Amino acid sequence: MTALSTIPEHVPLPAGFRATGLHCGLKSQGRPDLALILADEPVTAAAIYTQNRLVGAHVHVCRDHLLRSGGLVRAVLVNARNANCATGEKGIADARHCCDELAKRIGCPVEQVLMLSTGPIGAPLPTEKITSHLDALLGRVDDDGGMDFARAIMTTDTYPKAVHHAEYGVQVTGFAKGSGMIHPDMATMLGFLLTDATVDGASSGGVLRAVADRSFHRVTVDGDTSPNDTLLLLASGRAQSDAPATVLTATARELARHIAADGEGATRLITVVVRGAPSEQEAAHVGRVIATSPLVKTAIAGRDPNWGRILSAAGRAGVPFPAQAARVWVGTAEVYTEGVPHPEREDVAHRHLLDERDIEIGVDLAAGNAEAEVWTCDLTKDYVQINADYRS
Amino acid sequence: MTALSTIPEHVPLPAGFRATGLHCGLKSQGRPDLALILADEPVTAAAIYTQNRLVGAHVHVCRDHLLRSGGLVRAVLVNARNANCATGEKGIADARHCCDELAKRIGCPVEQVLMLSTGPIGAPLPTEKITSHLDALLGRVDDDGGMDFARAIMTTDTYPKAVHHAEYGVQVTGFAKGSGMIHPDMATMLGFLLTDATVDGASSGGVLRAVADRSFHRVTVDGDTSPNDTLLLLASGRAQSDAPATVLTATARELARHIAADGEGATRLITVVVRGAPSEQEAAHVGRVIATSPLVKTAIAGRDPNWGRILSAAGRAGVPFPAQAARVWVGTAEVYTEGVPHPEREDVAHRHLLDERDIEIGVDLAAGNAEAEVWTCDLTKDYVQINADYRS
């Protein structure tokens, strides 16, 4: 388990990208709600989307535009506080209209413009508020606008999520938003990976899937998958060098962990470590079941090193393992070893839960050599409060 | 949706059965924690158990005893406040010891005695407290002891769960306990179906599975499956007539709904109705996904007829359906119809959530003719409170 990174005050953008964000009237109190990424030239793009059968309008439009443009993108427009979802054909036309207005101003084909929406489901998109602010967006977009972008895409997030990696001569900057309705199979609501490296256009879908499988697909807040979840990779190729998947994955993992850390009502980032599994896939599956268990998550909220709930959640994941040979730890304290609980070690485990914000729970299944990490957060009364009152 | 039954003050037991409950020292404040069902003669029994890989000691012992007795049972001993789970070989020996002590007193083979345990995981079973109260149990067991039994098996339940049906010349009395760690694949913690009818010994496992599939397997409180879940059917055959599966199922459904109604921290029993599915199995699956969604459950806690969350949960269940042809209702108000939200109907839906304790939410998938009901409860701050503090 590595420590969670600190969000920077400024985040550099890879060569070829500019960004910004502003308030167009969707959120209250003047908070920024409209964001833009602008590429100097068309860049190679790949996207993966929610697996939900209910799909936001922007997913239809993004799919269509990327197909028609051959995976080339000049601009990405993002609005918060309105998902433009369950809005029928009108919603799709609204999203296209916004793309069209932006494309005209940039002077590029409409299919090189993408639009992403996030927020509550079911209300019509107020396109006038958006299109009337496109000139202002284009007027202020610059290479120091990363954090403005990150702030404008927030919904119930309590802090903006931006991560920067510079390694092997390439830069990767990532953004994400999301703190509720978070679950694997497009875990983040919206994620963006920008790089100045080359990502082979034909294969970038595969690369992005592999990156997501070890990052966004390993985080869960509440087991709910949003209809708007989208992860976007944009590669300008300015660095004249390939982006190693490891750098993209490291960026994406860090963003995914920030999403869990900022889970609605959360007070703890929980890293669930599963070892001794027959395969990495099974380790990740067991980890997700533990990370989704309300009983495990409320125990952590109560600072209770409740190994019984951890072992019980592992037990219902469907992966066979010998419970009498398994081990469970909380922080550095192994509280259950091969059939034997160690109540005398629970004080150390309790201190770990009490003193750290970034905590680890783990289980060794004694059923193989594979391992995986999954990230989640504790389930607190504030989660219930936030989601009982969301629309009121 | 039928109204939830009222729990009776007294519950009759089918001919051939007696029951009781008392305090043996496991719970605090003198609350009853040890319970007994005694059959006058050996009765035909069938059981189904948790699908969890971690299995309580009593499951090993019940399986073994039913195998050795050829499915005959004289007595069922139940203790609360200790699951005797993750207690290794010692735990199994402890359960056998209790059965043995009871069998000696009754004068029957040990394999005709079953023992079931429920409560927190991991502590050794205090067998001395149990065996020292066996004489008292046998001294007070009688045919009016049903409610004493129901009360003694409670853990975090706020009320005892007992249901009685007399139809077609047979009687069925059911008991259940459980209000957390509740999920399909043996949904109830402990369930008991007693009848004076005949249930063919060879086929009773199949009958019980079919009964559970339409009752206990359709209820979820928090998505967690306990390692101790057990459903037991006991048939004395005194009525000299077959028990129709419909009566057993009606009893089991009523118990299952009481479990959801008494879900930890719950203020509402939610009946999730799924119509228009390709098959009953798929309807039940979609219903379970909706019933497990923390976002749906917190919305109901907030009395918010949030059709977007209901439709979105249905969308991630993996059953294909045309979202633009679907319908969502809350109470009698259809708040989403074929792609169109009806905000003007949300007041009626809101009143339903506010005024009733027993509420209905539904979705028509427009993808077939099958339907199913699933039962759950709202997710409140009290659920978090109860489970954060459970061991402290």
Q: Is it the case that residue B222 has pLDDT exceeding 80?
A: no
d(CA A164, CA A141): 19
H helical segments located in chain B:
57-69, 88-106, 127-131, 134-140, 146-152, 204-213, 245-261, 280-292, 294-301, 307-315, 346-355, 381-388
3-state class of A225 per DSSP? Answer: coil
Helix or strand or coil: residue A390?
coil
Enumerate the residues of chain B whose CB falls inside 8 A of the CB of residue A181: 295, 312
Residue ranges making up the domain that contains A38: 17-261
**Mean pLDDT, range B134-159, rounded to an integer:** 94
Is the pLDDT at B137 greater than 90? The verdict is yes
**Residue of chain B minimizing CA distance to A298:** B388
Q: Is 50 exceeded by the pLDDT of residue B349?
A: yes
Asked if pLDDT for residue A44 goes beyond 50, the answer is yes
Q: What pLDDT sits at residue A149? A: 97
Whether the per-residue pLDDT at B188 is higher than 60: the answer is: no
Nearest to A315 among B54, B122, B388 (CB): B54
Based on the domain organization, do A232 and A282 belong to the same domain?
no
pLDDT band with cut points at 50, 70 and 90 for residue B208: confident
Residues forming beta bridges with residue B39, ordered by sequence position: B17
Helices (H), ranges, B88-188: 88-106, 127-131, 134-140, 146-152
The answer to whether residues B240 and B283 belong to one domain is no
Whether the Cβ atoms of residue A256 and residue A349 lie closer than 8 Å to each other: no
Q: How far is A84 from chain B (nearest CA, A)?
A: 11
Q: What percentage of chain A carries pLDDT values higher than 70?
A: 94
Q: pLDDT band for position B37 (50/70/90)?
A: very high
**Residue B204, min C-alpha distance to chain A (Å):** 26
Domain presence at residue A226: yes
| Residue of A295, A337, A346, A350 to mutate for B, most B C-beta atoms under 10 A | A295
C-alpha distances in Å from residue B346, one per residue of A41, A82, B323, B351: 48, 19, 20, 9
| Residue A239 resides in a domain | yes
Mutation to test the A interface, candidates B293, B300, B312, most A Cβ within 10 Å: B312
Query: Could you say which of A222, A306, A311 has the minimum Cβ distance to residue B391?
Result: A306
Question: For chain B, how far is it from start to end, CA to CA, in angstroms?
Answer: 39
Q: Are B122 and B86 in contact, with CB atoms under 8 Å apart?
A: yes
**Which of A204, A228, A261 is the last residue before a domain boundary?**
A261
What is the CATH number for B208? 3.60.70.12
Model confidence at B275, pLDDT cuts 50, 70, 90, reads very high
Which of B50, B54, B288 best probes binding to A when mutated, by most A CB atoms within 10 angstroms? B54
Are B45 and B77 members of one domain?
A: yes
Task: Give kind and range of the element (H or E) at residue A355.
Answer: helix A346-355
Q: Is residue B6 part of a domain?
A: no
pLDDT (0 to 100) of residue A184 = 43
Domain boundary among B195, B226, B261: B261
What average pLDDT does the segment B240-252 reach?
83
Assign 3-state DSSP to chain A and report helix, strand, coil percentages, each to 5: 35, 25, 40
**Contacting residues of B for A56, CB less than 8 Å apart:** none
Lowest mean pLDDT among A83-87, A365-369, B326-330: A83-87
Give me the pLDDT at residue B116, please: 94
Give residue for tokens 């939410």.
B361
Do B297 and B321 lie in one domain? The reply is yes
Residues A154 and A286 in one domain: no
For A315, which of B227, B311, B379 is closest by C-beta distance? B227
Q: Is the residue at B345 inside a domain?
A: yes
Q: Answer yes or no: is the ipTM higher than 0.90.
A: no
Average pLDDT over every residue of B305-330? 92
Confidence (pLDDT) at A186: 41
* Contact (CB, 8 A) for B170 and B247: yes
Looking at the predicted structure, is the pLDDT value of residue B184 above 50? no
Edge-to-edge, what's the strand order for the sheet holding B269-277?
Answer: B340-341, B333-337, B327-330, B358-364, B269-277, B370-377
Catalytic residue among A188, A195, A249, A380: A188
Same domain as A286, residue A231: no
Sheet strands (E) in B102-237: 113-117, 161-167, 170-177, 190-195, 230-235
Chain A residue nearest residue B50, CA to CA: A316
**Mean pLDDT of the region A87-112:** 97
Can you give the pLDDT at residue A224?
Answer: 64
- Please provide the average confidence, as pLDDT, over all residues in chain B: 89
Asked, for residue B281, whether it belongs to a domain, the answer is: yes
Same domain, A239 and A355: no
A290 and A223 within one domain: no
Domain boundary among B222, B240, B261: B261
Which of A183, A380, A388 is nearest residue B301 as measured by Cβ atoms? A388
- Interface touch B224/A308, C-beta < 8 Å: no
> Residue A321's closest chain B neighbor by CA?
B53
Task: Give the range among A195-209, A238-252, A346-360, B206-220 with minimum mean pLDDT.
Answer: A195-209
| Domain annotation covers residue A158 | yes
A221-249 mean pLDDT: 79
Q: For residue B342, give the chain A residue with the closest CA.
A: A122
- pLDDT of residue A187 exceeding 50, the answer is no
Chain A residues whose CB is inside 8 A of the B302 CB are: 387-390, 392
Instruction: Please report the pLDDT score of residue B186 as a whole number.
Output: 41
Shared domain check, A333 and A212: no
CA A370 to chain CA centroid, nearest Å: 24
Residues B40 and B160 in one domain: yes
Q: What pLDDT score does A181 carry?
A: 62
Helix (H) or strand (E) holding A59: helix A57-69
Same domain membership, residue A256 and residue A151: yes
* A153: CB partners within 8 A, 6+ apart: A21, A35, A78, A80, A118, A175, A177, A190
Question: Would you place residue A275 in the very low, low, confident or very high pLDDT band (cuts 50, 70, 90)?
Answer: very high
Quote the pLDDT of residue B169: 85
Inspect the interface and report whether the beta carbons of B380 and A380 lie closer than 8 Å.
no
β A269-277/A340-341 pair status: unpaired
Is residue B239 scored above 60 in pLDDT?
A: yes
- The residue with greater pLDDT, A206 or B66, is B66
Tell me the pLDDT band of B323, cut-offs 50, 70 and 90.
Answer: confident
Q: What is the mean pLDDT of residues B75-92?
A: 93
- Residue B185 is predicted with a pLDDT of 44
Rounded-to-integer distance, Cα A378 and Cα A330, Å: 14
Query: How confident is the model at residue A391, as a pLDDT?
Result: 63
Q: Say if residue B73's pLDDT is above 80.
A: yes
Task: With a cut of 70, say whether residue A234 has pLDDT above it.
Answer: yes
Confidence grade of residue A319 (pLDDT, cut at 50, 70, 90): very high
Do A284 and A216 form a contact (C-beta atoms < 8 A)? no
Residue B212: its pLDDT value, please?
84
CB pairs under 8 A between A and B: 187
- Residue A29 phi/psi, 5-degree rounding, is 55, 30
Average pLDDT, chain A: 90
Q: Are the CB atoms for B46 and B65 separated by under 8 Å?
A: no
Q: Nearest residue on chain B to A181, judged by CA atoms?
A: B295
**Does pLDDT of A10 surpass 50?**
yes
The count of domains in chain B is 2
pLDDT attached to residue B40: 96
Which residue from A304, A311, A341 is facing B392, i.e. has the nearest CB?
A: A304
Over the Cα atoms of chain A, what is R_g?
21
Q: Is the model's pLDDT at B390 over the cut of 70?
A: no
Same domain for A274 and A351?
yes
What number is the average pLDDT over the span B44-59?
A: 88
| Residue A8 falls inside a structural domain | no
* Chain A interface, best mutation among B118, B224, B328, by max A CB count within 10 A: B224
Cβ contact A227–B315 (<8 Å)? yes
Is the per-residue pLDDT at A25 higher than 90?
yes
The verdict on residue B137 lying in a domain is yes
Q: What CATH number did the domain enclosing A290 receive? A: 3.10.20.340
Interchain CB distance below 8 Å, B384 and A381: yes
Rounded mean pLDDT, B210-233: 78
Yes or no, beta carbons of A315 and B86 under 8 Å apart:
no
| B195 labelled catalytic | no
For A387, which of B88, B299, B314 is closest by C-beta distance? B299
Would you state the pLDDT for residue B201?
A: 63
Question: What pLDDT band is residue B181 in, cutting at 50, 70 and 90?
Answer: low
Sort out which chain B residues have CB atoms less than 8 A from A312's CB and list them: 52, 54, 121, 181, 224-227
